[in-house]
Amino acid sequence: MRKKEVAHMEKYIALMEKARAWIDAHRDEFIAELQAWARIPSVSRADLAAPGMPFGPDCRKMLDFAMERGRHYGFDVTEHDGCACSITWGDGEDSIGMIAHLDVVPVGEGWVYPPFGATYLPEHDVMIGRGVDDNKGSAIAGLFAMRMLREFGWPMRHGIRLMCGTSEETGMQDMQRLKEQGLRFPKVSLVPDAGFPVNFGQKGSVDATLHFPCEGNLLRLDAGSVRNIIPDLAQCVVAMPVAEVQQAFATLDAELMAYLTVEACPEGTAIAASGRSGHAAFLAGGDNAISHLTRALAESGILQGSCAAAIRAVADLTADAYGRSEGVAYSDEISGELTLVYGVAHLQNGVLKLSVDCRYPITCQGDALEAALRQDWARRGGSVAAFERSEPFYIPKDDPYVVALQAVYKAATGRDDEPYTMGGGTYSRVVTNAISFGPGMPGTKHDWSAFLPEGHGGAHGRDETIPMQKLYDCCCIYVAALAAMDELVPS
């Protein structure tokens, strides 16, 4: 059946105007709702799995709370095997959807505001806390969009189903598991976990863990906590007097030394390297602290035993974040350059464990990439302890859903931004007919300097911050987008 074109954009413009008035009357409620959700520390922890809570007790608590809020607003609620839930208005089996995630990345150190305090600054109209931007604010925007359509009496032809998952940040095992179990997803869904306008393609991904033999005078090394975050701190301890380390480091160039601190400790010398945190899929602004630390250790020549070769290998691998070191650099016009980040490094029992986060372009051949990476890592003495690969996501730019969502976005903003591709991964990779759409607004630059230090405020960084107006605006867009999608989906 050929999908219909969305007709009469004027009615969706009028719907958004009505939504803006509704939001203006419910701003305080939106703020309080987001604070309640963001105060739950829902880091996904499969290592803490128990019956009914495959991603740990905090995600279980978050899921229960989301379902309670769905019931509070009078919607039907369904749990999906402890992995996710659906909050539904109308026929859940014949529905269009929104799919958000309620798990968050770990906090890390160095926050100015409490990570799970959900601090609202009324003078700036922003909220600060882990998850306020990625992705709990979007989940609430979807919930409030459902409320509006119901209260407005909009004549929907299908049900609306808000799905909330709990392991998106750790590999999307939640939706993978439900897909394997045969869960029936909505006919078409919006994924509010990217930027406006329509994201029509996502790079493929490789998530892996490498092991390097690492014995000798390197006693400890720790950096990073999540593979998709560029680490801003790397620390180690070397069994060597501090005076000897300082003498060896005197040969390093001044630019590298600016990243380093060296001090005596009971076991010998503690060395730390600083960097700048960022998302592994978006390299601009990020600076990998592992690269600085391993380069200093390798170039100074202070290491003895197998740790010397291991650190040299890691220094070479982290010297470049585009796959050039490994010989797999690739780019295409659709999705840009391949990125390859090593974001977590830990020395345990004579083994240096190193994480891999690779985002490869849509036209790149995944099998050939995997073979080349495995060969290069083996040549350097590394063994592959874990390896997962996800294929790219792509839908044509002239797809009727893309065209309709682009029209809604233009009507809401007056902007002519083109649909885009990205290296970040969302539920679009896993869930059939799921299109990433917002909430990030192009052309907006935020100055947090009045209340945050430089480098703070990003979605995966310290003091994650969201302007509340951004959520209000995208909520109004989602109201019209859901209505427009409802018109296109075959009955």
What proportion of the chain, given as a percentage, has pLDDT over 90? 91
What would the two tokens of residue 172 be? Answer: 């999307």
What is the pLDDT, as a whole number, of residue 7? 52
For the chain, domains (ranges, CATH) are 9-201+393-488 (3.40.630.10), 204-390 (3.30.70.360)
What proportion of the chain, given as a percentage, has pLDDT over 70? 99
What would the two tokens of residue 183 be? Answer: 């869960």
User: What average pLDDT does the segment 150-169 reach?
Assistant: 97
Q: How far is CA 475 from CA 104, 149, 437, 443, in A?
A: 21, 11, 12, 18
What is the pLDDT, as a whole number, of residue 186? 97
What single-letter amino acid sits at 36?
A: A
Burial class (CB in 10 A: 0-12, 13-18, 19+), 314: buried
Averaged pLDDT score across all residues of the chain? 95
Q: How far is CA 450 from CA 44, 123, 453, 472, in A?
A: 32, 11, 8, 23
Q: Which residues, at least 6 apart from 368, have a Cβ–Cβ distance to it below 8 Å?
A: none
Q: In this predicted model, what pLDDT tens digit does every residue of 265-308 receive, in sequence order?
A: 999 999 999 999 888 988 988 999 999 999 999 999 999 999 99
User: Sheet containing 126-128: which strands, arranged edge to edge?
Assistant: 119-121, 126-128, 465-467
What single-letter amino acid sits at 304?
A: Q
Does the pTM of the predicted model rise above 0.85?
no
390 φ, ψ (degrees, to nearest 5)? -115, 135
Quote the CA–CA distance of 248 and 250 in Å, as a whole number: 5
Contact 202, 406 (CB under 8 A): no
What would the two tokens of residue 94 be? Answer: 């014949």
What is the pLDDT, as a whole number, of residue 443? 87
pLDDT at 109 exceeding the cut of 90: no
Q: In this predicted model, what pLDDT tens digit does every residue of 313-330 receive, in sequence order?
A: 999 999 999 999 999 999
pLDDT at 64 exceeding the cut of 90: yes
For residue 280, which of 370, 386, 359, 192 has the smallest C-alpha distance? 359
Contact 286, 343 (CB under 8 A): no
User: What average pLDDT does the segment 355-379 reach?
Assistant: 97
What would the two tokens of residue 88 be? Answer: 């539904």
